[in-house]
Amino acid sequence: MKANDCEVIILGAGGDLTKRLLLPALCNLGAAGLLPDSFSLVGVARTDYTSEQFRDYLKTNLDQFVSDKDSKVFGASLLQKTQFVSGDLTDPKTYAALKACLDPKRNHIFYMAVPPQFFLKIIEQLGAAGLTQETNNHSRRVIIEKPFGHDLDSAKKLNSDILKILQEHQIYRIDHYLGKETVQNLLAFRFANGIFEPIWNRRYVDHVQITVAESLGVELRGNYYETAGALRDMIPNHIFQLLSYVGMEPPISLDADAVRDEKSKLLRAIQELKPEDVIRYAIRGQYKEYRSSPDVNPKSNVETFVAMRLLIDNWRWAGVPFYIRTGKRLPLRATEIAIQFKTPPAIMFKETQVEDLSPNLLVIHVQPEEGISLRFGAKVPGPVVKLGDVNMKFQYKDYFGSRPGTGYETLLYDCMMGDSTLFQRADMVESGWRVVEPILDVWSALPPRDFPNYASKTWGPHEANELMERDGRKWRNILS
């Protein structure tokens, strides 16, 4: 179904996000026949371009970042109706010029492709120019990128300041992890199948591991990363989104608020670490070359790796640890959720050569591979009783083919349709910060003494392994 009529206005259209992700995503949507015929794009940025120069700029990016043929063809036609407004994003004149080129009788989506310090300033300007007022069924929606706030207080303040201008239903706080098909599939996997849900709880699950490993380092983003670090950059947003889908209760429907209520409940149930537990259960690391990256303080104490153990205080998960780890310059790029089930009693194998039984393991592969695998034990053929681990594996591409995608397609489409299921509500953002806040506090009060503490292409500092070993567990070897 084609999305509802709309004009998308990208504020900060001269940056990386537009050329690498938003433009390709819009082209892919257009090529799939999902954009309305009237769809149009307006870019706003400081660059001193005319609309024509902006189109030339986008054309170069189209050639570089859009690979699918149909998407390219759609892109070429989209560019013909693309306009550009040049101006300072804090100057009211820019918004007067923007207003002049928008049709008030259409729906507008304003996309904040700008650094976070501009979010509120731009929304205030949009409000002052009358651009956020919804009239005669014409919607005015604002998509806000992460990071949403810097800690709990700043996130609360940003929410309340924005809510002076916009209503919650107009705000789309984006988390691009929710655009990933495998993440969206978690709901279907858990609740559209009869066999998993009965064992999805503390009676059967030993623990859960969530890994978001990146092989790249901070590259040219030192400026931003120095103000963020791995904890802020990945945990309260991307990883907590994964966690909430794995842990939530079944929603009563697929309505945006029904789903978000359940996710929010799960986030609220995550136990906050007491200051004395932070050192034990939250591990930080920094890779060896980080301090010599561009725009990074040569004495920086910013972490590029985090591992932690969280507990969830509800009936389903009480006592089941959720171990999460994320980091840059790890041995490979892989995001996955591994659910390890309890090991069965090995009594009947006592008299055999079998020493241990391996626990069953269900792995949801989010990226780069997309699929689900289940590990179980099988008898090795032959007269002697021996067991071996085998894997049943489902890969998306084997069943549904692969489509060109940036991960932003569904999110943009949903926003056009007014469906906010995959976007963060104010309370969810705040719950995320609530959990990381005590860790931020302890880490800033006690600067690390051993940074940098892990070599590139390793799985972080040894304390990350000790975190598991203390509990008699170990991180899954993702290479295998």
Q: Which residues are catalytic?
A: 238
Least distance in Å: CB of 421 to ligand BG6? 19
Residue 111 CB contacts under 8 Å (≥ 6 apart), including other chains: 8, 9, 10, 11, 22, 143
Yes or no: say if 149 and 433 are a contact pair by the CB < 8 Å rule: yes
Residue 71 CB contacts under 8 Å (≥ 6 apart), including other chains: 24, 27, 28, 30, 31, 404
Least distance in Å: CB of 233 to ligand BG6? 5
Least distance in Å: CB of 176 to ligand BG6? 6
Q: What are phi and psi of 86, to 5 degrees?
A: -95, 135
Measured CA to CA, the distance from residue 242 to residue 133 in angstroms comes to 34
Which residue type sits at 168? E
| Closer residue to ligand BG6, CB minimum distance, 6 or 296 | 296
Q: What b/e sequence results for 416-425 when a residue is b if at least 16 CB atoms lie within 10 Å of its CB, and e otherwise?
A: beebbbbbbb
C-alpha distance across the termini of the chain, in Å: 41
Q: How many CB atoms lie within 10 A of CB 189?
A: 17
Measured CA to CA, the distance from residue 157 to residue 257 in angstroms comes to 22
Least distance in Å: CB of 372 to ligand BG6? 18
| The two structure tokens encoding residue 402 | 């692969």
Least distance in Å: CB of 335 to ligand BG6? 6
| Closer residue to ligand BG6, CB minimum distance, 219 or 441 | 219
| Closer residue to ligand BG6, CB minimum distance, 240 or 281 | 240
Measured CA to CA, the distance from residue 215 to residue 330 in angstroms comes to 5
| Closer residue to ligand BG6, CB minimum distance, 208 or 228 | 228
| Closer residue to ligand BG6, CB minimum distance, 59 or 291 | 291
Measured CA to CA, the distance from residue 34 to residue 31 in angstroms comes to 8
Q: Which has the closest alpha carbon to 17: 109, 112, 86?
A: 112
Q: How many CB atoms lie within 10 A of CB 460?
A: 29
| Closer residue to ligand BG6, CB minimum distance, 40 or 241 | 241
For tokens 């870019």, what's the residue? Answer: 43
| Closer residue to ligand BG6, CB minimum distance, 233 or 430 | 233
Least distance in Å: CB of 238 to ligand BG6? 6
Residue 467 CB contacts under 8 Å (≥ 6 apart), including other chains: 280, 281, 283, 307, 308, 309, 323
Least distance in Å: CB of 310 to ligand BG6? 20
Residues in contact with ligand BG6 by CB under 6 A are 146, 176, 214, 233, 335
Least distance in Å: CB of 49 to ligand BG6? 27
Report how far apart, in Å, the C-alpha atoms of 360 and of each of 185, 208, 375 are: 21, 12, 5
| The two structure tokens encoding residue 367 | 């990226």
Question: Which residue's beta carbon is nearest to the bound ligand BG6?
Answer: 233
Yes or no: say if 198 and 335 are a contact pair by the CB < 8 Å rule: no
Yes or no: say if 451 and 286 are a contact pair by the CB < 8 Å rule: yes
| Closer residue to ligand BG6, CB minimum distance, 107 or 185 | 185
